[in-house]
């Protein structure tokens, strides 16, 4: 395995870990806010709207992040290769 390929895989794995962490934080935050504010919502109709809105935010944001990861997986050689080449060129200019 070439050095460039190893660096690409390392960047991709880092992005996957970061994305999973962001998804977990998003779910924890939305669910925490929902639970903590539930008692202060007086009308059951508003509760339904709040649950639907929270579900929509969670579903669409999770789907968007997963789609982004899928795109990164498909084009990781181009995406990360370009980043690595630019970072190397910048580092070489600095020294």
Quick: pLDDT tens for 22-74: 999 999 999 999 999 999 999 999 999 999 999 999 999 999 999 999 999 99
Model pTM score: 0.82
The conformation of residue 40, written as its DSSP 8-state character, comes to G
Which residues fall within 8 angstroms of residue 50, CB to CB, at 6 or more apart?
Answer: 34, 37, 41
The conformation of residue 1, written as its DSSP 8-state character, comes to -
Looking at beta carbons, which pairs linking 86-90 to residues 24 or more positions away fall under 8 Å? none
Three-state secondary-structure class, residue 42: coil
Identify the band that residue 18 occupies on the pLDDT scale cut at 50, 70 and 90.
Answer: very high
Residue 1 scores a pLDDT above 80: no
Instruction: Return the pLDDT at 71.
Output: 95
Residue 90 lies in a domain: no
Report the alpha-carbon distance of residue 39 to residue 34 in Å, rounded. 9
Residue 77 lies in a domain: yes
The domain total for the chain is 1
Residue 38 lies in a domain: yes
In which domain, by residue range, is 70 found?
Answer: 3-81
Region 80-88 average pLDDT:
89
């Amino acid at each position: 395995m070439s050095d460039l390929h190893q660096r690409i895989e390392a960047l991709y794995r880092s992005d996957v870990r970061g994305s999973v962490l962001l998804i977990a934080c998003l779910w924890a935050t939305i669910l925490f806010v929902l639970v903590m504010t539930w008692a202060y919502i007086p009308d059951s109709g508003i509760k339904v709207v709040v649950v639907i809105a929270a579900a929509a935010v969670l579903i669409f944001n999770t789907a968007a992040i997963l789609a982004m990861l899928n795109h990164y997986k498909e084009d990781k050689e181009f995406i990360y290769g370009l980043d690595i080449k630019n970072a190397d060129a910048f580092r070489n200019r600095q020294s």
